[in-house]
Amino acid sequence: MATFSVEDHDFDEKVLKNKIPVLVDFWAPWCSPCRMAEPILEELSDEYENRVVIVKVNVDENKNSSSKYSVLSIPTTVLFKEGKEVGRQIGFAGKVAYENLIKKATVG
């Protein structure tokens, strides 16, 4: 499944109340490391289909969500399971780092 955008108004429903773990990518169009992360997150959303949902939150347009989770550096990817943060990756660190993060919610 491809990644999709989540906004402040549906963050609760799409992220926190999701039955499946959700990896939230906080990004902005002007951030070049975010653009490097983009194709990799797209790939992972297919590879981990049905096990993790990957969504994107544009920090320029969704200040509530980004400030609620103290996102002051982008890209920041936060992993949620049953509404709780279970892991966080700050900055773009490549595919392996994202996979290791996803495994925190999908293994065991």
Partner 1 sequence: MREEFAVKPKEGEPWDVVIIGSGPASLTAAIYTTRGAASTLILAGEKWGGQLMLTTQVDNYPGFPDGIQGPILMMAMRKQAVRFGAEFIEKDVEEVNFLSNPFELFVNRKKYLAKTVIIATGAKTRWLSVPGEERLLGRGVSSCAPCDAPLFKNKRVAVIGGGDSAMEEALVLVKYASSVTIIHRRNEFRASAAMQSRVKNNPKMKIIWDSAVKEIIGEQKLEKLKIWNLKTSQESEIEVDGVFVAIGHSPSTEIFKDKVDLDEKGYVKVFDHTKTSVEGVFVAGDVHDVNYRQAVTAAGFGCMAAFEVIRYLDKNTTVVKNS
Q: Which is nearer to partner 1, 45 or 76 (CB)?
A: 76
Question: What 3-state class would DSSP assign to 83?
Answer: coil
34: annotated active-site residue: yes
Shortest distance, position 76 Cβ to partner 1, whole Å: 5
Which contiguous run of DSSP H or E holds residue 27? strand 22-27
CB of 14 to partner 1, least distance (A): 22
Verify whether residue 37 is a known catalytic residue. no
Calculate the alpha carbon distances from 21 to 7, 27, 49, 50 in Å. 17, 19, 11, 9
Give 12 or 70: the residue with its C-beta nearer to partner 1.
Answer: 70
The binding site for partner 1 (CB under 8 A) comprises 28, 30-36, 59-60, 66, 70-74, 76, 88, 90-97
Do 91 and 75 contact (CB within 8 A), yes or no?
yes
Annotated catalytic residues are 31, 34
